[in-house]
Amino acid sequence: MEKIKFQIDNKECEALYGQMLVDAARDNGIYIPTLCNMQGTNPCGSCRVCTVKINGRYATACTTPVACGMEIESETDEIQEIRNALIELLFNEGNHFCPTCEMSGNCDLQALGYRFDIMAPRFSYQWPKRAVNTDCPYLIIDYNRCIRCKRCIRSIKDEQGKSYFAFLNRGDKIEVSIDTMMAKNMSKELAELAAKNCPVGSILLKGTAYKTPIGERKYDKNRIGSCVENAQLTAKMEELK
């Protein structure tokens, strides 16, 4: 199939027809930060962290299919500043106590904080009142840390395609809830998948906390996105050989 040609930050890139921008960028060795996007599920563009400028207009890279001749700004100061503010807002909007969170070190939100060198959020903390749910025998669901990325809603379904999770309310009152009856009968495999798919420490598998020692966790030594960037470097090294 013919490839589509487009540009990210003046770098010539190629994509397959119908490929979303984040995926195409990744294939070209360019990391666009994401939180809600997950390979294998339909994109929903809820976190906006992948915001880019396409031909002068803002758009989310996870929901935009690549088109021929697109000129994309991604690593510019303006776009980085927008992403930075979005990540800070996520920290302010929930109750993110990193020192007490068992996902600390493996958390995508935290890792983005590190990547963007966020020392302290500039906005004021909201201190929302959120509950903790333990209906499912295998899971602890801590809504204090939820960023409403919809990954659990989109990916955790029963045999008939019915979601275990759903959104409740609207606007700033929106929250994820789990179907009480379905949660009680959730299989262990599905519970493990739900915990794995949660980018923050909101869905946790009971009895598995703090297995990895500090220093060996996912983002202790490696910046988020570095695998995408390094893959490109490795490929270049191979070519030179």
The residue ranges that bind another protein (CB under 8 A) are 91, 95-101, 104-105, 110, 113-114, 117, 119-121, 124-125, 127-130, 214, 220-221, 223
| Closest distance to another protein from the beta carbon of 107 (Å) | 9
| Closest distance to another protein from the beta carbon of 125 (Å) | 6
Q: Which two tokens stand for residue 4?
A: 């589509």
| Closest distance to another protein from the beta carbon of 158 (Å) | 33
Whether the CB-CB separation of 220 and 112 falls below 8 Å is answered with no
Smaller CB separation from another protein, 35 or 61: 35
Smaller CB separation from another protein, 122 or 206: 122
CA-based nearest residue to 61, from 103, 24, 111: 24
Smaller CB separation from another protein, 19 or 95: 95
| Closest distance to another protein from the beta carbon of 50 (Å) | 22
Smaller CB separation from another protein, 60 or 110: 110
Smaller CB separation from another protein, 58 or 97: 97
Smaller CB separation from another protein, 17 or 125: 125
Distances (CA, A) of 100 to 97, 145, 209: 6, 11, 11
Q: How many CB atoms lie within 10 A of CB 238?
A: 8
Whether the CB-CB separation of 123 and 233 falls below 8 Å is answered with no
Whether the CB-CB separation of 33 and 62 falls below 8 Å is answered with no
| Closest distance to another protein from the beta carbon of 96 (Å) | 8
| Closest distance to another protein from the beta carbon of 119 (Å) | 4
DSSP single-letter state for residue 81: H
Handedness of CA 146, 135, 153, 110 (dihedral sign): positive
Q: CA dihedral in degrees (119, 44, 192, 204; nearest 10)?
A: 40
Continuous segment of H or E residues that includes residue 188: helix 188-197
